[in-house]
Amino acid sequence: MGLSFGFEEISRHGDRYHVNQVFLFSDGNPTSGEQNWNKIRHNISKKATDTKLSVFAFGTDANIRELNALAGVTGGTYTFVTQANDVRLALNEELKRRDKVAAINVQMQIVIKPDIDILHFYGHDLVTDPATRAAVLDKVQATAEKAEREYGVESEEDLVSKDNGIRVFVPNLAVGDTYWVVFELATPQGSDLESFGDATVQYVDTLARQTQKQTLPLELKGKIPPKIVAEHGIGLWTSEVTFYAIDDLYERDTSTFRKRLTNHLKVLENVGYSLGSSYLADDRIVLNKFLSLAENLGKQQVSSDVEYPKPQQMTLLRMNAFGRLRNGFVQRVNQ
């Protein structure tokens, strides 16, 4: 009900000269109205035609997966809140970023040659649910309409609605944002390939006020140094391990949590040593600290220890932020 009211108010009073944004404060456990999350996302996508929804999650029982997915439908941000200052910091980042949007309606179509196996696509989930897919396509349409209305630019024909290849939609990117796409591929033994396939990228350039489109061959001899590719591939793997470890903590399964992080620390040590990577060495330090924190969760250290903020919540917050940092999307915010 609250969200519907917020969107209705924006439809009545919003205009193209202002940023329209709704902020939701919730534990993600609806007790009235629509309670099916697929339908909730679909309904929000239809209402948020020109509005971004950002979500603040509260409580130890917060439904973080659904709230995170809900924010993603409109290109908004998700923040797990453990103390009031988290809200202030998140809002400040939103304000800094939204005035520097450089591209909107960013779409990618990646076609890998049929004789090459795609073992893994890091940092992304396959959208198979019809309602979720429809919600994404609704958002694509709304973003295209926004580009034409606010920048006078008609978007190219959608790539994400095509049937072939892997399609990726990013609502917007600000100046300095980086979006990494990393695959793990298996090529046939003894094959003589010149490329893995092609990647087509298109977007509306908000500064030049025109569309940009480019098709790039995924060459075997790419221009990016192999070390950088390896570092980001391992970084995305680290992100996935971190989010699985967060699930372990929510289940209070500290044994699996320790094993998961310990095993991945060995990977980081071996690969980091082989590459001579300070980047992976830093990740080892961070994960070791998380491991130490988890060992002390729930243990009173001194008699003055208080219940709030809960150590588990703080650990989960920091792990969530670290996981997002390594999952392929880095926002650059000037301090």
**pLDDT 10s digits, 111-169:** 999 989 988 887 677 777 787 788 888 889 988 998 888 888 999 999 999 988 999 99
Burial of 47 (0-12, 13-18, 19+ CB in 10 A): buried
Q: How large a percentage of the chain has pLDDT more than 90?
A: 14
* 105-109: average pLDDT: 95
Does the predicted model carry a pTM greater than 0.85?
A: no
CATH topology of domain 2-98: Rossmann fold (3.40.50)
* 220-233: average pLDDT: 78
**What pLDDT score was predicted for residue 333?**
39
Residue 87 and residue 94 in contact, taking contact as beta carbons nearer than 8 Å: no
Quickly tell me which residue has 């396939």 as its tokens.
Answer: 197
Ranges of each domain in the chain:
2-98, 101-219, 226-330
Q: What is the pLDDT of residues 38-84, one digit of tens each?
A: 778 777 777 766 677 888 888 777 787 788 778 777 767 778 887 77
pLDDT at 24 over 80: yes
> Which secondary-structure segment (H or E) carries 210?
strand 210-219
**What pLDDT score was predicted for residue 211?**
94
- Phi first, then psi, for residue 188 (nearest 5°) are -60, 140
pLDDT at 240 over 50: yes
* 207-216: average pLDDT: 90
